[in-house]
């Protein structure tokens, strides 16, 4: 499961599929990033803007996912991801938070014997990403929603602020 279908969440999706994940569920509150996620291989792309209850697979209150990546930077997403993990599952925090401390449901972490991990600034992962791109193992083109010449940078930044219009913007020099 991946919480957040922005560029980082979609890159996680690509690498998960490349690594052999048979099914990948991705969640977001915006339709356009979810559409992109479906196009690049998400098994399920769920709009949770109205209710996070859609995340869980029916019939298993103990959890539905082996691994959960939180890439949205939303504190509530951390709690939902942890609650939706199977016993022995792994939670990976990738999204960043702005001036927020997140309360982890430690009772759930303990009783399910979960593993918690995080990544910050992708130190080791940067070389892997460069190798994957060079070898064409992943294709980031679907994540680029717009390309602007440098003289239209102001317009590019305005569009980039609206996730309903833009996934990732490239400025061409």
Query: pLDDT by residue for the chain (173 residues), tens digit each?
Result: 999 999 999 999 999 999 999 999 999 999 999 999 999 999 999 998 877 665 655 445 566 899 999 999 898 899 999 999 999 999 999 988 887 788 899 999 999 999 999 887 667 778 888 898 999 999 999 999 999 999 999 999 999 998 778 889 999 98
Give, in order, the Cα–Cα distances in Å from 62 to each of 66, 112, 117, 142, 164: 11, 9, 21, 35, 34
Give, in order, the Cα–Cα distances in Å from 33 to each of 7, 56, 96: 8, 20, 18
The DSSP secondary structure of 30-47, one letter per residue, reads -HHHHHHHHHTT-SEEEE
CA atoms of 114 and 17, how far apart (whole Å): 22
User: Which value, in Å, is the radius of gyration of the alpha carbons in the chain?
Assistant: 17
Per domain, the residue ranges of the chain are 2-125, 140-172
CATH of domain 2-125: 3.40.50.720
At residue 57, the pLDDT reads 52
């Amino acid at each position: 499961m991946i919480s957040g279908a922005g560029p980082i969440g979609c890159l996680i999706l690509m690498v998960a599929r490349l690594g052999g994940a048979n099914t990948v569920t991705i969640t977001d509150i915006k339709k356009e990033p979810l559409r992109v996620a479906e196009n690049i291989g998400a098994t399920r792309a769920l709009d949770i803007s109205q209710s996070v209850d859609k995340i869980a697979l029916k019939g298993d209150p103990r959890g539905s996912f082996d691994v959960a990546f939180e890439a949205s930077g939303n504190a509530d997403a951390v709690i939902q991801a942890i609650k939706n993990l199977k016993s022995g599952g792994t939670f990976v925090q990738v999204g960043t938070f702005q001036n927020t401390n997140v309360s982890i449901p430690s009772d759930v972490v303990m009783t399910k014997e979960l593993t918690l991990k995080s990544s910050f600034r992708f130190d080791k992962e940067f070389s892997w990403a460069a190798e994957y791109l060079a070898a064409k193992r992943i294709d980031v083109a679907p994540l680029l929603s717009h390309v602007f010449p440098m003289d239209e940078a102001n317009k590019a930044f305005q569009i980039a602020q609206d996730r309903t219009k833009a996934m990732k913007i490239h400025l061409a020099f």
